[in-house]
Amino acid sequence: MSHPEGRGNPEPVSASPHAIRLTSDARALASLIDHTLLRPEATRAQVEQFCDEALEAGFAAVCVNPAWAPVAAQRVRGSGVRVATVVGFPFGATSTVAKRAEAEAAILAGAQEVDMVMNVGAMRSGDPERVEYDICGVVELCHAAGVTLKVILENAYLTDAEKVAACEIAKRAGADFVKTSTGFGPHGATEADVRLMRQAVGPAMGVKAAGGIRTLSDALRMLQAGATRLGTSASLLILAEAAQLGAAG
């Protein structure tokens, strides 16, 4: 099993935003990162800490489980940091009705971005119509509220042909991003998958790489492969590496 994007150590890490002298390059990198805490055992204090770190570092978003979305929304209100949460997570095996209800609750709680897991089983069963119906149901709710929707493909379970087809379905359904992984599957993001997804959706649609991104090298490889957003719980360590590299350069 991969090291999940949201299951890194939620306690204070050696690098804190206060301790990092962020270069302009490091700040630009921060603006592409969803600072992610999706551990089931995460506490309110840990969620609040992640929000504070996101505020200080200038991350694109803080991504938390739906139960903590109201806490995150309150904590980052009035800042440039967005609140992201998950729907149908981590298996994508709930009904479209359930996913719509989750999305609606998340939006009411203050979420500005929703990362939904597509119906992976339907994709593997050769039922693209069901996959598209599922995504469309959540896209409709999100876009009516001005909320960004990312579709998680969970690539570890798909063939390359299925990955391409899923990207095309998500694009046709109107999703804003396609995303590699939940971080809870057999493996997370790979460069090959990110490149394949970018080719499938073209230059305009967002591609989010998530799962197993632990170092600056990991982050840069995903961006070079075509990702426009990264999901990781190792955000501060990655920024610390970027800042050190900038200071040395």
The catalytic site residues sit at 115, 179, 208
Distance CA 244, CA 133 (A): 47
Find all residues with CB under 8 Å of 2, minimum gap 6, and list them. 156, 181, 183, 185, 186, 187, 188, 211, 212
Residues forming beta bridges with residue 229, ordered by sequence position: 208
- Tokens 């957003």 correspond to 229
Instruction: Compute the CA torsion angle 228, 233, 237, 242 (nearest 10 deg).
Output: 0
Residues forming beta bridges with residue 163, ordered by sequence position: none
User: DSSP class of residue 12?
Assistant: P
